[in-house]
Amino acid sequence: MTGYEVTEPRLRCVLPFEAAPAEVRLLRRAAAKQLRQWGAPVAVDEAELLITELATNVVKHVGGGASATLILEWKGERLRLEVHDKSETLPLPKRAGHDDVCGRGLHLLASLAVDWGTVLTAAGKAVWCEISAGTGAACQRMERALAVLENYQDVGRASALQGGRRDQGLAESAVALIADLLHWSAARGHDPDDILDRAQMHYEAEAA
């Protein structure tokens, strides 16, 4: 499975896939990996579930082996998921008394997503949904770290900088802060290497 990413003016990743159960699993993993690389503050499990539903509907209602594409687009406070295929038949919500898997999938989109819809395209159709930014632990940690760095030494100079220069100033403050914390831990009888190892273990566990 191949894809490409455009980072301006928004985060965007395009993942072509083939309508097959094995490809759906690979697609879900590739999308989850991309979201983690972006550091997008959304529930990855929720995104994986919606991607699975969207891709599985292509397998069941367009046909095995059909060509399709998943587009991930992070803009502002929302993540947009779009699955494009070459069929012009729009899915319909399940009517009472009908065992329609696609219809159940649409109800799942409606219950989990902030917004969703279908649209005809020049090549077929697209089914899309949007997930709002959450307030999970990862997002809270990033906001807390930023607040600390912006109020650390030389904060006035760092905050006055823009773009890459400001990021570099914050990175330098992060290094100084970590060094000071290691001095603090050593002065209280703790092993600085042990502190770093424990912090790394916490980070890797949460990132995974």
pLDDT at 1: 58
Tell me the pTM. 0.57
Which residue ranges make up each domain of the chain? Answer: 4-132, 137-207
pLDDT tens digits, the chain, 208 residues: what are they?
Answer: 555 454 444 689 999 999 998 999 999 999 999 988 887 666 788 888 899 989 988 988 888 888 999 999 988 778 999 999 999 988 765 544 444 444 456 667 777 788 899 999 999 999 999 988 664 455 456 556 766 776 765 544 544 555 556 667 777 888 888 888 888 888 888 898 988 888 888 777 766 5
Q: Which of 86, 82, 89, 71 is nearest to 109 (CA)?
A: 82
**Token pair of 131 as six digits:** 């997930």
pLDDT at 148: 74
CATH superfamily label, 4-132: Histidine kinase-like ATPase, C-terminal domain (3.30.565.10)
The answer to whether the Cα torsion of 140, 141, 146, 148 is positive or negative is: positive
pLDDT at 63: 86
Q: Which of 113, 116, 109, 105 is nearest to 131 (CA)?
A: 113
Q: Collect all residues with Cβ–Cβ distance below 8 Å to 49 and sequence separation of at least 6.
A: 108, 112
**Token pair of 60 as six digits:** 């069941």
Eight-state DSSP code of residue 14: E
pLDDT at 10: 67
pLDDT at 122: 93
Pairing mode, strands 115-120 and 78-85: unpaired
pLDDT at 51: 92
pLDDT at 67: 94
